[in-house]
Amino acid sequence: MAGLFDKFKKEKGDFEATSTFGSIKVDDNRRIFKIAGRLIPYADLVSFELLEDGKIITEGGIDIGRAAIGGAFFGIAGAGIGGFSKMKKEDKEFCTSMQILVTLRNQKYGAVTVPFIFLKTDKSKATYSLARTNAKATLSGLNYILEMNADKTILGFDNLKKLKELFDLGILTEGEYDSKKKDILGL
């Protein structure tokens, strides 16, 4: 019976996680990630915010820039959670909600919310600590996806530049140039 399931799975092109970051699983081979039960292409990730009791603790994304993503906890990897160390004193006793809001280019979803805490939770207890650890790992995964996508974009620009040089040198015809350019741009 397992063989039949495996065949169905492969035919559907099912998601195969290559890494897990908290609440996110990524498939680097297909360049998609799974969050809140949805499969999303890397290129659709625009930004994310960690919210605690409705306040933005930290944020990251394409428009925010690497410096704002903050590597206070994870250095160069820049997990986007530096804001955890900037919480105000009045917020230290209890937390009633902790979630990550993920903004997408995808018109169908637009945004996905990943909840970690949704009931009043004492911040000195293990439940809060586990939620915080999971949120950190999830933020790390979101940054990983952004970095992987940025690397592909940079590589694409490099390839376009080389392609243009080959065209200008007369090595490629206009048709070959246009075809390869469309491939690189994903058109």
Q: What is the pLDDT of residues 104-143, one digit of tens each?
A: 987 677 899 999 999 999 999 999 999 999 999 999 999 9
Question: Is the pLDDT reported for residue 76 higher than 50?
Answer: no
Residue 143 burial class via C-beta count within 10 angstroms: exposed 0-12, middle 13-18, buried 19 and up:
buried
Structure tokens at 91: 């917020």
Q: Pick the residue with more confidence: 172 or 115?
A: 115
Question: Where is average pLDDT lowest: 7-21, 66-80, 132-146?
Answer: 66-80
Question: Where is average pLDDT lowest: 11-20, 78-87, 109-118, 153-162?
Answer: 78-87
* Average pLDDT rounded to a whole number, residues 1-16: 56
Could you give the CA distance from residue 60 to residue 107 in angstroms, rounded to a whole number?
Answer: 20
Within 10 angstroms of residue 140's Cβ, the number of other Cβ atoms is 20
Q: Quick check: helix, strand or coil at residue 72?
A: coil
pTM higher than the cut 0.85 = no
Could you give the CA distance from residue 141 to residue 146 in angstroms, rounded to a whole number?
Answer: 9
Residue 124 burial class via C-beta count within 10 angstroms: exposed 0-12, middle 13-18, buried 19 and up:
exposed
Percent of the chain with pLDDT over 90: 40
